[in-house]
A and B are shown apart, each in its own frame.
Chain A
Amino acid sequence: MDEIKDRLLKPSKATKQDQRGRMISYLSIGLIAILVISILYFIATRGLSMFFNDGIKVSDFLFKTDWNPGKKLVGALPMIVTSFGVTLLAALIATPFAIAVALFMTEFAPKRGARFLQVVIELLVGIPSVIYGLIGLAVVVPAMRIMYGGTGFGILAGAVVLFVMVLPTITSLTVDALKAVPSHYRQASLALGATRWQTIYKVILRAATPGILTAVVFGMARAFGEALAVQMVIGNAAMLPHNLVSPSATLTSQLTMGIGNTIMGTLPNNALWSLALLLLIMALVFNILVKLIARKGRIK
């Protein structure tokens, strides 16, 4: 009798498994949380030290245009403007293409065609960014020079390279959004006598709008954070771009250019950390934007 009681009162094997499983997942979560917090802490302390220790004003950092940290000039406006410039331009060019391709894949293409395009898109994602940069340097920059004059380096060349890089991101997320539109929407629309085009335009795209916007924001986040490929075609001149083909520099390209030549703890190094902090904040903003779109944009 006691034996049975004992067995019943002790945790069973399954319960122990349960506990162990929970422990492992808590451990992993804890580890990741610590990692994220330490990264945030590290970048924040380094990034802010320029303002506290070197007496640089935040407004100078954000709105002045002279970047020469060796001489205490840390106006980051050119980089901020250029970063947003290439990002918006790339997203602007890429979105129509992405929507068209995604529509083709979900609404028109026979199964085999859709699968083929899927492979192509996955391939585009898999190409390392340095290769995009090299192609940009060898093909896009000379093309821009011939077409628009100047050196060819600049926002336009950056945007063209980024366009190819964000296209697969936006396309595949748009495909997901279109696939998520319930098929009875389509059926109902067609039953009411709408043509295919009317169905796509008025029903499917409308229902998928939040998903498509999310796709665009994700694409922009990728473009904003891309460093290597952009650095190779943007020209890296820390000055406000006069036009789309004048050399400029992005936040990321300035970071990768400068970090090896600066010494920890000095102003030039801290200034780069401030750029990094700015990038981090922007990544956060993009994330919040995605959440907002997902919540507000749903069809009612």
Chain B
Amino acid sequence: MKKTLTLVGAMLALLLLITGCGKSKNQDTKMTIVGSTALQPLVEQASSQYSEKNSNISITVQGGGSGTGLSQVQSGAVVVGDSDVFAEQASGIKASELTDHQVAVVGIVPVVNPKSGIKNLSMKQLEGIFTGKITNWKQVGGKNEKIIVINRAQGSGTRLTFEQQVLGNKTAVKSQEQDSNGTVQQIVGSTPGAISYVSFSYVNNKIQPLSIDNVKPTAKNVATNAWKIWSYEHMYTQKKVSDKAADFIKYIQSESVQDGLVKQLGYISIHDMQVSKDENNQVTDK
């Protein structure tokens, strides 16, 4: 009996110890970053490089989606929330309470199954396909095969960006939805007649990236806005930023990370951009 009691006591003490630890080590040394899965690889790798240089800080990076990132940073649960979209574009978020830090640019490209024989579409044709007006590849010069549209999950940042540029205010046709670049890549590669869109870095030899109006999806074309489907990757903080968070964000925005990690991982450096885009999708020359 005594043994059991001691055991229970010890477990309780351990529990207190574990939970207590998290609190007593204050936020100066720990930082949690939550949100966009599209930005996650960059922040993860940057944080491990950053920790090597600054051993006194440990950064935890989690996914969860842009919505989670924005709402968590707004409620103060985390220091930094990653998002694919402007806070202004997310309903339920008070953008005025947050500070936007743009850390990378992502280009998005429509991709098709290579067997459809299509390599270029006009913006109008692309819109027709995603609104359901064009349903067969032969209507756009391909072979006689049904078009299978694969969209991204409602509310996903990639989808928002794509629809803003391609569909405008029109509603997308009801179709299959997938929740990540990886699954889209796999499904388009294996399903005849499929069309979807992915970030530049997810293009591989099993899927065919499309040119739009004969503009090729390259980083250079994004930089000049000749390629129109792109968005910023944001790291949002509250208005009052802790020094550590500010320093880490500055590190990601620095030339060395932007020219190194950012490009390695298939994003586009913010320093290369010759134009800028605001939350209303208005593009201006820098």
A235 and B176 within 8 A (CB): yes
Interface mask (B65-93 → A, CB under 8 Å = 1, otherwise 0): 11110110001000000000000001111
Q: Which of B162-201 contact A (CB under 8 A)?
A: 171, 174-179, 183, 186-187, 190-191, 194
What residues on B are CB-neighbors of A231 within 8 Å? 179
Q: Which among A260, A265, A268 is the interface contact of B68 at CB below 8 angstroms?
A: A260
What residues on B are CB-neighbors of A69 within 8 Å? 154
B91 and A257 within 8 A (CB): no
Q: Which among A71, A235, A261 is the interface contact of B66 at CB below 8 angstroms?
A: A261
B92 and A142 within 8 A (CB): no
Interface mask (A168-196 → B, CB under 8 Å = 1, otherwise 0): 00000000000000000000000000000
- Interface assignment of B265: CB less than 8 Å from any CB of chain A: no
What residues on B are CB-neighbors of A68 within 8 Å? 154, 171
- Complex CA gap A247/B174 in Å reads 10
Q: Which of A220-261 contact B (CB under 8 A)?
A: 231-232, 235-239, 247, 249, 256-261
Size bin of chain A's contact surface: 35 or more
- Complex CA gap A268/B68 in Å reads 13
B176 and A263 within 8 A (CB): no
Residue of A nearest to B35 (CB): A260
B67 and A261 within 8 A (CB): yes
What residues on A are CB-neighbors of B176 within 8 Å? 151, 153, 235-237, 247
Residue of A nearest to B71 (CB): A263
What residues on A are CB-neighbors of B215 within 8 Å? none
- Interface assignment of B155: CB less than 8 Å from any CB of chain A: yes
A239 and B1 within 8 A (CB): no
- Interface assignment of B64: CB less than 8 Å from any CB of chain A: yes
In the assembled complex, the CB of A28 is this many whole angstroms from the nearest CB of chain B, namely 11
- Interface assignment of A145: CB less than 8 Å from any CB of chain B: yes
Q: Using known A-B contacts A153-B176, A236-B177, A236-B178, determine if residue A261 contacts B186 with beta carbons closer than 8 Å.
A: no
B92 and A260 within 8 A (CB): no
Question: How many of chain B's residues have a CB under 8 angstroms from any CB in A?
Answer: 36
In the assembled complex, the CB of A79 is this many whole angstroms from the nearest CB of chain B, namely 12
What residues on A are CB-neighbors of B178 within 8 Å? 236
- Complex CA gap A261/B191 in Å reads 26
In the assembled complex, the CB of B181 is this many whole angstroms from the nearest CB of chain A, namely 14
- Interface assignment of A20: CB less than 8 Å from any CB of chain B: yes
- Complex CA gap A265/B37 in Å reads 22
Q: Which of B215-257 contact A (CB under 8 A)?
A: none
What residues on B are CB-neighbors of A71 within 8 Å? 171
- Interface assignment of A137: CB less than 8 Å from any CB of chain B: yes
What residues on A are CB-neighbors of B148 within 8 Å? 151
A260 and B64 within 8 A (CB): yes
- Complex CA gap A238/B151 in Å reads 11
- Complex CA gap A266/B71 in Å reads 11
- Complex CA gap A249/B93 in Å reads 28
B156 and A264 within 8 A (CB): no
In the assembled complex, the CB of B83 is this many whole angstroms from the nearest CB of chain A, namely 11
What residues on B are CB-neighbors of A265 within 8 Å? 71, 92
In the assembled complex, the CB of A206 is this many whole angstroms from the nearest CB of chain B, namely 45
B92 and A20 within 8 A (CB): no
Q: Using known A-B contacts A260-B65, A260-B68, A266-B91, determine if residue A239 contacts B174 with beta carbons closer than 8 Å.
A: yes
- Complex CA gap A142/B157 in Å reads 29
In the assembled complex, the CB of B37 is this many whole angstroms from the nearest CB of chain A, namely 8
Q: Which among B8, B91, B157, B186 is the interface contact of A263 at CB below 8 angstroms?
A: B91
- Interface assignment of A106: CB less than 8 Å from any CB of chain B: no
Interface centre among B5, B67, B187, by most chain A C-beta atoms within 10 angstroms, is B67
B190 and A263 within 8 A (CB): no
A152 and B179 within 8 A (CB): no
What residues on B are CB-neighbors of A118 within 8 Å? none
In the assembled complex, the CB of A238 is this many whole angstroms from the nearest CB of chain B, namely 7
Residue of A nearest to B183 (CB): A232
- Interface assignment of B128: CB less than 8 Å from any CB of chain A: no
Interface mask (A260-300 → B, CB under 8 Å = 1, otherwise 0): 11111110110000000000000000000000000000000
- Complex CA gap A264/B8 in Å reads 37
A238 and B174 within 8 A (CB): yes
Q: Which among B70, B175, B186 is the interface contact of A137 at CB below 8 angstroms?
A: B186
- 4 nearest interchain CB pairs? A260-B65, A261-B155, A266-B92, A263-B92
Q: Report 9 cross-chain contacts, Cβ distance below 8 Å, ordered by A residue.
A: A70-B91, A237-B175, A238-B177, A258-B154, A260-B64, A260-B67, A263-B93, A264-B75, A265-B92
Residues of A within 8 A of B (CB): 17, 20, 24, 68-71, 137, 141-142, 145, 151-153, 231-232, 235-239, 247, 249, 256-266, 268-269
